[in-house]
Amino acid sequence: MKCVWLTGLPCSGKTTIANELNKVLTNSVVLDGDDLRSTYLGKNVGFSPQDRHDHILRMGEIAKLFVKTGTYAICSFISPEAKARDMVRELFNDGDFIEIHVSASKDTCAERDVKGMWKRAMNGDITHFTGFDAPYEEPINPEYTAFTELSTIKECVDDIIDLLKPYHKPACMFIGRWNGIFHNGHDYIIRKKLDEGKSVTLAIRDVAPDKNNPWSAKQVKEMIDYRFKDYPDVKTIIIPDLESVEYGRGVGYEVNEIKVDKYIAGISGTECRKMILEGDDDWKQFVPDEVVEYLTDYNKRFT
């Protein structure tokens, strides 16, 4: 998922685009500047350059949390300072931050202003108003510019959806218990799909821990997330302990078995767990380096 960051002058159309985009995207949330300033997240934040700078970075961190959970973060903030927007971009993996400049002239923005803020700024009733007596630094190279004076809101939203399409890769899902230890056999089949240019979702069955398998589904998910922490195309979810997996009416899914060599097929999670319990470090040759690192403090984590 991505952070779609809408920046522009007050009343340029950011919130309207954000709300319409939210209707189209699945699993998305809107973070709107006006709404958040009325909460405890931004209730006492002023409008000085430093206040604005700090506020935008905080909102960027919130957006990052949503993206990490697999949610589109649609952010509607004036965010007038280019430096602050660039710092927010740096919070995300490459390609996960989409900057949208919502562009409209000051006169048009003033005409659209139902709250009368532009008029109050012009009358001197309020100060530090972006676009009037406070600067707005336009993006130099945004991923997209929505010219809301020339295009309808629907046209802008359609263009943004088209912009996001290349990020939607064909996906495959692997379902399993994952044996309580993520080993090189698992790693092999997942990397094979990544090498084919696909994204991968790992569905972890919620099997209760027992003597032979001391890891809970939550702990297995933590382990796999750590292994693929630098792989945005790998997602993990926990699902019920399924009785069966079925699909019908030829709706487009494929069920495939990945062929592997004897070495990969011979790796056993059960044997790896047994080695760990017996203090035999040979298990380390059968799992990815990241999992070795993760499980180094095994006794602290799971006993």
Domain CATH code at residue 196: 3.40.50.620
Same domain membership, residue 236 and residue 250: yes
Active site includes 105? no
| Per-residue pLDDT tens digits of the chain, which is 303 residues long | 789 999 999 999 999 999 999 999 888 999 987 777 767 676 677 778 888 898 899 999 999 999 888 789 999 999 999 999 999 999 998 888 999 999 999 999 999 888 888 888 888 888 778 878 888 999 999 999 999 999 999 999 999 999 988 776 778 999 988 877 889 999 999 999 999 888 899 999 999 888 878 889 999 999 999 999 888 788 899 999 988 888 887 777 888 888 888 888 899 888 888 888 888 999 999 999 999 888 887 655 555
Catalytic residue, candidates 79, 105, 151, 244: 79
Same domain membership, residue 143 and residue 20: yes
Order across the sheet with 97-103: list the strands: 28-32, 72-76, 3-7, 97-103, 144-147
User: Taking each helix axis from N to C terminus, what angle separates 49-68 and 82-89, rounded to the nearest 10 degrees?
Assistant: 20
Dihedral sign of CA atoms 119, 125, 126, 127 in order: positive
Q: Domain count for the chain, please give it.
A: 2
Integer-rounded Cα Rg, in Å, for the chain is 25
Per DSSP, what are the bridge partners of residue 239? Answer: 205
Same domain membership, residue 177 and residue 162: no
Task: Give the Cα separation of 14 and 20 in Å (integer).
Answer: 10
Residue after which a domain boundary falls, among 167, 182, 213: 167
Residue after which a domain boundary falls, among 113, 140, 167: 167
pTM of the predicted structure, to 2 decimals: 0.64
Sorted by sequence, the CB contacts under 8 Å of residue 302 that are 6+ apart come out as: 214, 215, 219
Same domain membership, residue 160 and residue 176: no
Same domain membership, residue 149 and residue 29: yes
Query: What string of H, E and C letters represents the secondary structure of 130-170?
Result: ECCCECCCCCCCCCEEEECCCCCHHHHHHHHHHHHHHHCCC
Q: Residue 63: which of 99, 20, 14 has the closest Cα?
A: 99
Q: Which domain holds residue 121?
A: 3-167
Domain CATH code at residue 89: 3.40.50.300
Same domain membership, residue 211 and residue 84: no
